[in-house]
Amino acid sequence: MSVQYKSIKELKNMLNNRDISHTELIQETFLNIKNNSKLNAFITLNEEESLKKANNLDNIAGSGSLAGIPIAQKDLFCTKDLKTTCGSNMLSNFIPPYSATVIKNLENAGCISVGKTNMDEFAMGSSNETSFYGNVQNPWGENLVPGGSSGGSAAAVAAGIVPAASGTDTGGSIRQPASLCGISGLKPTYGRISRWGMIAFASSLDQAGPMARTAEDCALLLNEMCSHDEKDTTSIDEAIPDFTENLNSSIQGLKIGLVKEFDLSKLDNDVVQIFEESKKHYESLGAEFIEISLPNISLSVPTYYVVAPAECSSNLSRFDGVKFGKRCDNPKDLEELYIKTRSEGFGDEVKRRILIGSYVLSAGFYDAYYKKAQQVRRLIKNDFDSAFKNVDIIMSPTTRGAAFEAGSKGDDPIQMYLEDLFTIPANLAGLPAMSIPNGMVDNKPIGLQLIGNFLDESRLLQAAHNFQISTDWHLKTPSGSKS
């Protein structure tokens, strides 16, 4: 019995009913990885250890709500004794001595980490074209990008290789690839999931989250990924609900906000039409739409591209050829060690953002750029606070369009940055947001974004699940089949 395109819930039933053994499930997962090697979705595989864990589960009753479920881990989560590269030459030989909290949480729940997925270098990119290990291919088209930076994770789920994957979202890096690959992806409230052991890009924005075929699977994963972590000073010490509890509750009377400042007339007609059809579908489920104003939302992209590079330049200063990671050959002195190591270890996009960040943090420009950006960020957060007094969730397209061709935007970084136009605001405000499939443009999937209030992931997942049990966009696959 094939496990390709099966959901977590379906696989759990198959394992419980002994329709398939844990070992058979993991063997088929690695066969699917090899059969889809052209996608370049994985950097490092964990086959021997995965089969060992599966065999143990077959011989000893498994514990944990996700016992035996294969999962792909984005390659910027530290994994003990398994190479962690961040898609960079700088960390091409780095084997961590510990695992990130989110990895431990998932594995304690019984998940089997089958490998580390390809990604934009240090999570900097919107197309998975900046990885030292080469581009990831979108399963929906040979020359299409999967989105980024969690492109490898999205491609692995979309191709049916694994039912779930971990991702991270700094400005849309879970939601944007989820949209372009036709899967569901959730960025939780900032601090909901521990960042300890997650190699930092921009510390005040980065957040881990689940990627899967369905909102229900995302809820199952989120239940296990969340925990308060004393090792992470940004971790929120709040009670963690069962995110599956209210999934099937009616959304009759749900108030959904539509942002007046989002000018959808500039999008392709197909994208606008799909969005309008999604609105009608939510109305048929009992939801009510209310126009809201986020006056400072247009400043989100420039604000992000001051704050994120500033924090990246600080975080990446640790990669100097001294402590760990790559070291250049035969430097004549310490200065040359730094220069050559960073020149050889970092790719162009990472260098670009380090330079921008160093500039905006410099003595002469800190007040004019970084401080001002943080002030504008607060205004954006205040706008959301005001809006959520009148609505329960906010809805928008996830992306400006469907997946684009590899290389089509590489010469214009600004156009690439605008790929995150709809996703960045939620990161600046620290709010939960997710993308779910809601249509097709030229036989390519496109996503719908739902943004929730602080710590209100349950309502987001409920709204997404209600949409999915009454539509079939999340069941469409690149092979044309349905699960």
Residue 14 domain flag: yes
Q: Catalytic positions, please?
A: 74, 149, 173
The residues, any chain, with a CB within 8 Å of residue 266's CB and separated by 6 or more, are none
Residues 196-217: b if buried by 16+ CB within 10 A, e if exposed: bbbbbbbebbbbbbbbbbbbbb
How far is it, in rounded angstroms, from Cα 120 to Cα 130? Answer: 5
Is the separation of the CB atoms in 3 and 28 below 8 Å?
A: yes
Q: What is the pLDDT of residue 480?
A: 59
Residue 191 domain flag: yes
Q: What is the pLDDT of residue 417?
A: 67
Residue 100 domain flag: yes
Measured in degrees and rounded to the nearest 5, phi and psi for residue 308 equal -65, -50
Positions in the chain short of pLDDT 50: 481-483
CATH number at residue 128: 3.90.1300.10
Domain that holds residue 63: 8-254
Secondary structure string (H, E, C) spanning 439-477: EEECCEEEEEEEEECCCCHHHHHHHHHHHHCCCCHHHCC
Residue 443 domain flag: no
Residue 171 domain flag: yes
Q: What is the pLDDT of residue 266?
A: 81
Residue 209 domain flag: yes
Number of domains in the chain: 1
Residue 480 domain flag: no
Which pairing describes strands 184-187 and 42-45: parallel, antiparallel, or unpaired?
Answer: unpaired
Q: What is the pLDDT of residue 404?
A: 92
Residue 381 domain flag: no
How far is it, in rounded angstroms, from Cα 325 to Cα 47? Answer: 24
Q: What is the pLDDT of residue 483?
A: 45
Q: What is the pLDDT of residue 62?
A: 61
Alpha helix stretches (DSSP H) within 17-113: 22-35, 47-59, 101-108
Q: What is the pLDDT of residue 93?
A: 92
Is the separation of the CB atoms in 23 and 105 below 8 Å?
A: no
How far is it, in rounded angstroms, from Cα 473 to Cα 30? Answer: 27
Token pair, residue 344, equals 């050889």
